[in-house]
Amino acid sequence: MSLVMGVTRCDDTTFEWGLKTYVMGIVNVTSDSFSGDGLDGNVAASVEQAKRFVKYGADIIDVGGESTRPDSTPINADEELGRVISVIEALSKEIDVPISIDTYRAEVAEKMIEAGAHMINDVWGLKKDPDMAKVAAGCNVPVVITQNQRGSSYQNFIPDLITDLQKSIDMAQGAGIKWENIILDPGVGFGKTVEQNLEIVRRLAELKVLNRPILLGTSRKSFIGYALDLPVEQRLEGTAATVALAVANGADIVRVHDVKEMVRVVRMSDAVARLRFYQADD
């Protein structure tokens, strides 16, 4: 366990950073997910998928109600709430792993924590909604801060990315978010070029200078499609390669669609990178 990063408590779960790589399973309740797995607010299907992911070994379930692909149709807070609240309420009664709400809206985050979510995953790194940091602090929950490069560009990519993540850390702490509740995501795919996304995976260990756990979400993303010249439904092996490299380079959480396969990849990668051997009850 890292003495610097310590532990993060999320409801009844304790994440011991450095001990293993945790797997976050994606439940999209959108109608236009880039990955083709959107459940369009179907509560029963969402619960079934989440329960299946937990059975396969997911440590966290991440529920999102708005697509983040660049050409997606924006929705308002009421529509987002309508898609996710029944799913979160149902999941809170059906699964025993932490539930994350994937949103950049403070209003949605606060209501989903009240409905049973335990973590916030903000793809805009607390910068889209000025109230998000205050809500996360007030709810005293872990928050994933994603570096989103849309609308900006960098001259010295990795150092500039680290600087921007540090700004979000400062914003979080300034709002009262506890140090142990901060998780960082370098934001693969969020306004970045193919080359920059590949560089994130290759140089992920450099982000450890920030002394916070790193979440990486490469699953089925377009840079894999460009590298392999494959459509989204054929990116399983490419995703597996990026997950294995991420674990070797120090990822603490990987966010994935194909939970069964990626749990196996993570466990084998942990065996090599961390000398971590999983037992039947892990």
The ranges assigned to domains in the chain are: 17-273
pLDDT at residue 154, as a whole number = 77
Q: Give me the catalytic one of 105, 127, 220, 255.
A: 255
Asked if 204 and 251 count as a contact pair (C-beta separation under 8 A), the reply is yes
* Mean pLDDT over the full length of the chain: 92
Per DSSP, the residues of 145-195 read EE---TT---SSHHHHHHHHHHHHHHHHHHTT--GGGEEEE--TTSS--HH
Please confirm, yes or no, whether 208 is among the known catalytic residues: no
pLDDT grade for 169, boundaries at 50, 70 and 90: very high
Distance CA 237, CA 3 (A): 34
Each residue of 172-193: pLDDT tens digit?
A: 999 999 999 999 999 999 999 9
Please confirm, yes or no, whether 221 is among the known catalytic residues: yes
Classify residue 233 as exposed, middle or buried by CB count within 10 Å of its CB (0-12, 13-18, 19+).
Answer: exposed
Each residue of 105-160: pLDDT tens digit?
A: 999 999 999 999 999 999 999 999 999 999 999 999 999 999 998 777 778 999 99
Each residue of 210-264: pLDDT tens digit?
A: 999 999 999 999 999 999 999 999 999 999 999 999 999 999 999 999 999 999 9
Per DSSP, the residues of 16-50 read EBTTB-EEEEEEE--SS-TTS---TT-HHHHHHHH
CATH of domain 17-273: 3.20.20.20
Tokens of 110: 């606060």
pLDDT at residue 4, as a whole number = 72
Q: Give me the catalytic one of 105, 221, 235, 267.
A: 221
Tell me the one-letter amino acid at 159. Answer: P
Asked if 38 and 28 count as a contact pair (C-beta separation under 8 A), the reply is yes
- 30 closest CA partner among 17, 43, 21, 39: 39
pLDDT at residue 75, as a whole number = 85
